[in-house]
Amino acid sequence: MIDCMSDLLVAVLDDDADLAATVARLLTRNGVAARAFVAPQDILAMLPDRALGCVISDIQMGEMDGFAFADVLRVRDPAVALVFMTAWPTTAHAVDAVRRHGGLDYLEKPIDEPRLIAAVSEGLAWSKRERRIAAATASFTRREREVFNLLVRGHSNKEIAEHLAISARTVEDHRAAIVAKTKTNGLAQLVALSRGEET
Amino acid sequence: MISRATPPRTGSLLPGAAPKKREVPLLVAYAFSFAFLHWTASPWGGAGFFSLWYPPAGLRFAMLWNCGPRITPWLIVAELCADIATGVIHLGAPDTLQAMTGIMRPGITYGIAIAAVRHIAREHTDTLALPPMTLGLAAVAAPALNALMVVPFEALLPSDAGRYRIGVDIAISLTGLAVGDLLGILVLAPLLLWLAAVAGAPRRMRIAMPPLRPVLEDATVIGGCLLLTIALWRAGLGAQPAPGLLAGAWIGLRHGRIAAWLAILAQVLVFLPYSAGPLDDAARLELHLGIAAVVLVTWLAGSFSDAQKTSRAAIDKRNRLLFQAERLKTLRAMSVAVIHEISQPLSTLAIEAGHLRSVTQDLDPEIADSAALVDRKARALSDLVRRLRRFGGRDVDEPSPLPVAMLMQTACQIVAAEVRGSSGRLECAAVAPDLVVQAQEIELTQALVNLLRNAFAASPGETVSVRAYAVRGEARIEVANPVTVASASAGMGVGLVIARTIIEAHGGTLVREDETACIRFALTLPLLAGATI
């Protein structure tokens, strides 16, 4: 059973409505909130009102194929995990799915259930992390984001000041603002935040 | 019994081999025939050469071509015996050694010429190396080499009253020798070789009547040319072979060797009685040179025509195979499409079956069992579809470590599905998991599938067994089927050829090892050392 993450929905997209519904039901049985879709437009229309954790998408579909849909989806919401499934597996597609379109896995039909569950579970966890980081850093200014990125990589105030060509004093001001906005206590918590861990 | 399917090479040059049992009476008959034919050649003799029409050369050539050059020493012995018995050589005479070497020379040179032509034919694949053409080339090469070798033989052992005059007349001597041999070979050898083929055929050869039209055409051409020759002769121009040359070339090129040989025979029958008459040596030599040219051109034209036919037949066969390959390609594309279409609904079925099994396991055992069975079958089907897709759907097949167990399982799954309709059974023995070969999976599976299909085609309704084990650093896969009454196969007969090609490309071998009650094909492949799968 997957950890219940009721706030994040899993969308199952396949132009074969029966298969989409079956996979959605399978996920629901495994404790995942899942919904079946037969057209990519239906999922895109749902955004951004409903946050998606993971999309399991077929590749060969009607007007918009799985890869084109993935690209559009990424622009609209970069924190959605993608898992591809296909009845026409090719090596080239498998490589593209992962490297170019950021897919977590490339599943061959008939679908291997344990592998599907594992991929969705990983996808949801990833999405949750991404959303947590995005939420925590949403209120940062551009400069604060730069300071935050260097800080969590272990740079000292002095090094950050040199790197960004600002004074150490200004770095300290930014750092105080970051801590205040994220309600964290110390560098360790900031690093944990940057990794999407709960603080 | 162990036999490679490739035909054994015949005619090695190893002279050490003793004659086979059936060749001994043949050699005795040869000695008698040789002596007789030698005697019949005397009317066409002249100064500096024995005869311008020498049929024993044809007999010698046919014998060597038929039995292979390895019989050369025994042929020479037979010729020596014949010549001693008929008094051609007088033992004890001062020039006995020279006479004997002179008699041995043709045998040796013929043997070398035939062996060389066969060797060249094995190494080359162009028209000149095709079967009828090799005989034609050997028929020209043997007398030519024999004539050329006279010079070194005479230089080493000069005879006082030599048959071949050294000096100004050497050209006449050698030409006479070559012409006599050439005529003898081209007139007699084809007939003798044909008779040998008829006698050696396992079943009675059916001699088909040739179609009337080519016969009429050839008869008209040869008749017309002979009439023209007679007309020229009557006009006082002597016996001119030029019209015969044209007729021979035409007939040979049009209708092949048999027609060419009949044309040669017709011309020889007209010219030889004339040249045996009161002609001086120079006129006879000139005429026979002309006849030799006619005979040579006719025979080579016939051989070339037949070689072209062989070549065309090979191209036709290849075209048929290509057509078959195209069809197979289409079939493959169709199968791949079908597999993909099946996999879509099968995904739904498999997931739902799994769900049904889990929700019914606590219900009535009958329901639970049914649901479990449906789930199991759906899983098996999913597995099969994945496997089939890997077999038929991949375009690039890179060599990779392949467990023999997996290879056998895939091939057996494919073939088992095909034989399910018949009463045949496939027995697939367990294979050690560490048996791994470096192979292109799809190709090698195809090879094994072909062997299994052949086995089922040869023994319909029987049990075909397949097993694999390691032996001397090799993986050995055996496909065995019981011997049954041969039935007509529906296949094209290319399955085995394809299997052998694939296996040999993997550095392996495919050997047929039959036993009394079973036909067995053994496939060996080099084992992959230190493979971890």
The ipTM (two decimal places) reads 0.74
Q: Are B252 and B305 in contact (CB under 8 A)?
A: yes
Instruction: Tell me which of A109, A112, A113, A117 to substitute to probe the interface with B (most B C-beta atoms closer than 10 Å).
Output: A109
Q: Are A10 and A50 in contact (CB under 8 A)?
A: no
> What is the Cα–Cα distance from B85 to A156, expressed in whole angstroms?
118
Q: Are the beta carbons of A88 and B382 separated by less than 8 Å?
A: no
Instruction: Please determine, for residue B532, whether its predicted confidence score (pLDDT) is greater than 60.
Output: no
> What is the Cα–Cα distance from B324 to B528, expressed in whole angstroms?
34
Which of B524, B520, B496 has the alpha carbon at shortest distance from B508?
B524
Give the tens place of pLDDT for each residue, B297-335.
998 898 889 888 888 888 888 888 888 877 887 787 788
Task: Write the class of the CATH domain B8-204.
Answer: mainly alpha
Give the tens place of pLDDT for each residue, B107-141.
999 999 999 988 888 877 676 666 667 887 888 89
What phi and psi values does residue B470 have, to the nearest 5 degrees? -95, 140
For residue B343, list chain A residues with Cβ-Cβ distance below 8 A. Answer: 87, 108-110
- Interacting residues of B430 by C-beta distance below 8 A, sequence separation 6+: B405
Helix (H) or strand (E) holding B193: helix B170-200
Domain ranges of chain B: 8-204, 208-395, 400-526
- Interacting residues of B412 by C-beta distance below 8 A, sequence separation 6+: B426, B428, B452, B466
> What is the Cα–Cα distance from B344 to B348, expressed in whole angstroms?
7
Asked if the domains at B8-204 and B400-526 fall in one CATH topology, the answer is no
Q: Are the beta carbons of A22 and B348 separated by less than 8 Å?
A: yes
Instruction: Please determine, for residue B490, whether its predicted confidence score (pLDDT) is greater than 70.
Output: no
Instruction: Please determine, for residue B34, whether its predicted confidence score (pLDDT) is greater than 50.
Output: yes
Give the tens place of pLDDT for each residue, B244-256.
999 999 999 999 8
Classified as helix, coil or strand, B461 is coil
Give the chain B residue nearest A16 (alpha carbons): B344
Note the pLDDT of residue B440: 81
> What is B400-526's CATH topology?
Heat Shock Protein 90 (3.30.565)
Q: Are B51 and B45 in contact (CB under 8 A)?
A: yes
Note the pLDDT of residue A63: 78
Q: Are the beta carbons of B385 and A110 separated by less than 8 Å?
A: yes
Q: Are the beta carbons of B352 and A22 separated by less than 8 Å?
A: yes
- Interacting residues of B432 by C-beta distance below 8 A, sequence separation 6+: B405, B469, B470
Note the pLDDT of residue B349: 93
Nearest chain A Cα distance for residue B396, angstroms: 10
What domains are there in chain A, each with its CATH number?
A: 9-137 (3.40.50.2300), 142-194 (1.10.10.10)
**Which DSSP string corresponds to chain A?**
-PPP-TTSEEEEE-SSHHHHHHHHHHHHHTT--EEEES-HHHHHHHTTTS-EEEEEEESS-SSS-HHHHHHHHHHH-TT-EEEEEESS--HHHHHHHHHTT-EEEEEESSP-HHHHHHHHHHHHHHHHHHHHHHHHHTT--HHHHHHHHHHTTT--HHHHHHHHTS-HHHHHHHHHHHHHHHT--SHHHHHHHHTT---
Instruction: Please determine, for residue B295, whether its predicted confidence score (pLDDT) is greater than 70.
Output: yes
Would residue B78 be called left, alpha or beta, if left means φ above 0 and alpha means ψ between -120 and 50 degrees? alpha
Give the chain B residue nearest A17 (alpha carbons): B348
The percent of residues in chain B predicted with pLDDT above 90, rounded, is 20
Residue B158: count other Cβ atoms within 10 Å of its Cβ: 11
Tokens 């084109």, residue located: A68
Give the chain B residue nearest A113 (alpha carbons): B351
Average pLDDT over residues B154-175: 65
Question: Is residue A18 very low, low, confident or very high in pLDDT (cuts 50, 70, 90)?
Answer: very high
